[in-house]
Amino acid sequence: MRRGIAATALAASLALAATACGGSDSGDSGDSADGPVTITWWDTSNATNEAPTYQELVKEFEAANKDIKVEYVNVPFDQAQNKFDTAAGAKGAPDVLRSEVGWTPAFAKKGFFLPLDGTEALADQAKFQPSLIEQATYEDKVYGVPFTTDTLALVYNKKLFADAGVEPPTTWDELKTAAATIKEETGVDGYWGSTSAYYAQSFLYGEGTDTVDATAKKITVTSPEAKKGYETWKSLFDGDGLRKANTTAEAYSAIQDAFVNGEVASIIQGPWEITNFYKGSAFADKNNLGIATVPAGSSGEAGAPTGGHNLSVYAGSDASRQEAALKFVNFMTSAKSQETIALKNSTLPTRDDAYTDQVKADPGIAGYQGVLAAAQPRPALPEYSSLWGPLDEELLAIAGDKKSLDEGLSSAETAIQKLVPDFTK
């Protein structure tokens, strides 16, 4: 494992950082004059499918670093953000957090994350995809090391597409045509869309816009470009070979199940479902899974939101624990560790040298690696991830014909204004 900067210089810099952040008031630091330093890691991954791999890597790290013990805690993802916010505010947070990329600006702004520039954790910075480092950056400082990444893609059933004689579409209009042809030739619906705001984000990128312009501090969700994107999104719920919007609480699982069992030929989905794709009858042969860049809008460009997780270090820990945490983050994000994680969990590495021949033998991982170029980093806006909340509610109403597009987007704009009150409409 690479050591990065000298331990003495690191300890001095961390002591300064800890002083600036007020140190740690979380009680026992885990340090002992004759024992190992103990750090705590909150892992927010799936406890059944992913966590065992991380627990094995923790053991491997401890075996190679006898002076460090890692207390592993699996925290449910949907609870982790609030739990960490509360714990960090009380200066009792874990030393390392598996943080969703969208959490970085808010926690960095509050001073909860340690800047990692020049530390051992980020010693291999040049190995990581630049867009992922950008996503971990707030006000010109890097606050997380990219751990896993994801984006959305058009996933499709190669056999159904071949039986219908159609190629993966590159525009939304081509998708409509392909869906109709697939329905006519095979009897299977060609596409089923989601009402979720996150999944609708690609329609905005395809028109060269977003929900807000963070640089200009302007809400753009009702702009002509955004309306055009959402009009295209809504149009894909009505037509030959296009399934109507599912507005129930079970929509996600219904769409997923229909795809993996060959009842619909294509959907928009992320790589977190790779292992579940293969459990479906349609993909008993993994090579039947097709993965293509999301279709482009009228701008001619295709784009999908970048997701994933970083490993971030708590700024409130004492210097010895921060030093140990930085070593741990460096180990967990190394090429070797990322290769192991990819092979066992079917998640996407964040560094190119982890895409070994063995990793790319998985058609799902190889396919998603091929679409990462279209992934767009989120703006470094602390409130950005929360903007999808109002849109989830309004898009559901629009897709279910409870509100017109104008009504729904106007309501979303009003709700977003409350989240970013210094933005203009």
CATH assignment of the domain containing 157: 3.40.190.10
Residue 180 has pLDDT above 80, yes or no: yes
**Residue whose tokens read 């998640």:** 347
Whether residue 112 sits in one domain with residue 62? yes
Tell me, rounded to whole angstroms, the distance of Cα 118 from its chain centroid.
25
For position 49, what pLDDT does the model report? 86
Q: Whole-number mean pLDDT of the chain?
A: 92
pTM here? 0.85
Are 212 and 155 within 8 A, CB to CB? no
Q: Report if residue 236 sits inside a domain.
A: yes
- Average pLDDT, stretch 174-194? 98
Claim to verify: residue 324 and residue 413 sit in the same structural domain: no
Token pair listed for 115: 């800047």
Number of domains in the chain: 2
Convert the pLDDT of each residue in 37-50 to its tens digit: 999 999 999 998 89
Q: What percent of the chain has pLDDT over 90?
A: 88
In this structure, are 169 and 263 located in the same domain?
yes
192-212: per-residue pLDDT in tens? 999 999 999 999 999 999 999
203 with 214, same domain: the answer is yes
Count the neighbouring beta carbons within 10 Å of the beta carbon of residue 170.
16
Question: Can you tell me the distance from the alpha carbon of 30 to that of 40, in angstroms, rounded to the nearest whole number?
Answer: 9
Residue 127 lies in a domain: yes
pLDDT at position 212: 97
Q: Cα–Cα distance between 140 and 390 in angstroms, integer?
A: 29
Residues 180 and 294 grouped into a single domain? yes
183: in domain: yes
CA distance 363 to 361: 6
| Distance from C-alpha of 59 to C-alpha of 71, rounded to nearest angstrom | 10
* pLDDT of 10 over the 90 cut: no
Residue 231's pLDDT band, with cuts at 50, 70 and 90, is very high
Summarised one tens digit per residue, pLDDT across range 359-397 is: 999 999 999 999 999 999 889 899 998 999 999 999 999
Statement to judge: residues 183 and 281 lie in one domain: yes
If you compute the radius of gyration of the chain from its CA atoms, what whole number of angstroms results?
A: 23
Does the structure show a pLDDT above 70 at 32? no
| Cβ neighbours around 351 below 10 Å, total | 21
In a domain, 142, yes or no: yes
81 and 194 in a common domain: no
Establish if 425 belongs to a structural domain.
Answer: no
Q: Is 231 among the domain residues?
A: yes
Please give the average per-residue pLDDT across 408-418, as a whole number. Answer: 98
Quote the DSSP letter at residue 188: S
Is the domain of 280 the same as that of 329?
Answer: no
Quote the domain boundaries for residue 77: 7-150+307-376
Residue 57 lies in a domain: yes
**CB-facing half-sphere around the CA of 340: CA atoms within 13 A:** 16
Strands (E), 270-406: 289-292, 304-313, 375-376
Question: Which band of pLDDT confidence, cut at 50, 70 and 90, is reported for residue 31?
Answer: low
Q: Using an 8 Å Cβ cutoff, are 138 and 116 in contact?
A: no
Q: 126: how many CB neighbours lie within 10 A of its CB? A: 9
- Predicted local distance difference test score (pLDDT) of residue 6: 32
Q: Both tokens of residue 215?
A: 């640089």
Instruction: Examine the domain organization and report whether 268 and 404 are in the same domain.
Output: yes
Average pLDDT over residues 227-234: 98
Cα–Cα distance measured from residue 413 to residue 312, given in angstroms and rounded to the nearest whole number? 32
- pLDDT tier for residue 91 given thresholds of 50, 70 and 90: confident
* CA–CA dist 122, 67 (Å, integer): 21
Same domain (yes/no): 11, 115: yes
DSSP code for 385: G
Give tens-digit pLDDT for 317-357: 999 999 999 999 999 999 999 999 999 999 999 999 999 99
DSSP strands (E only) in 75-202: 96-100, 137-138, 141-142, 145-151, 153-157
Quick one: 262 and 388 in the same domain? yes
* Rounded CA separation 180/191 (Å): 9
Residues 11 and 146 placed together within one structural domain of the fold: yes
Judge contact between 251 and 195, C-beta under 8 A: yes
pLDDT at 33 (0 to 100): 55
pLDDT value at residue 17: 38
| 348: β partners | 149
Render pLDDT for 285-307 as a digit per residue (tens, 0 to 9).
999 999 999 999 999 999 999 99
> Has residue 270 been placed in a domain?
yes
For residue 12, is pLDDT > 70?
A: no
